[in-house]
């Protein structure tokens, strides 16, 4: 059997395997464990919740959305091509129908 690291063993001692934790208790326990096992990257936690619903029935469907605290990734870059009055335009919506117009205006990209 493989040996566990010292930080892992210290963090594992905090958890009681026979106890069922409430959500608040579990979150505080995970935070305590994270303090013990400091890492040089953002640590993540997975959580599985049993809701006891049957998704076959429409009144028991569970749907929703979550706003993440740090967004989903790269920030959006906005480019504006405008003259005169339209210089106040904040963004441009490009899709398959408008992209060829801008491609003609900008020219093709040089490949290295």
Per-residue pLDDT tens digits for 21-75: 898 999 899 999 888 888 888 888 887 888 888 888 988 888 888 887 877 777 7
Cβ-based burial of 36 (10 A; exposed 0-12, middle 13-18, buried ≥19): middle
Q: What is the pLDDT of residue 48?
A: 80
First to last CA, the chain: 52
Neighbour count for residue 30 (Cβ, 10 Å): 17
């Amino acid at each position: 059997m493989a040996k566990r690291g010292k930080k892992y063993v210290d963090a594992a001692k905090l958890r009681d395997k026979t106890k069922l934790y409430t959500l608040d208790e579990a979150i505080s326990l995970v935070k305590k464990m994270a303090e013990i096992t400091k890492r040089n990257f953002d640590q993540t936690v997975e959580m599985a919740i049993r809701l006891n619903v049957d998704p076959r029935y429409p009144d028991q469907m569970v749907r929703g959305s979550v706003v993440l605290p740090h967004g989903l990734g790269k920030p959006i870059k906005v480019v504006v091509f405008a003259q005169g009055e339209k210089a106040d335009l904040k963004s441009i919506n490009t899709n398959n129908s408008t992209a060829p117009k801008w491609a003609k205006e900008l020219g093709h990209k040089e490949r290295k």
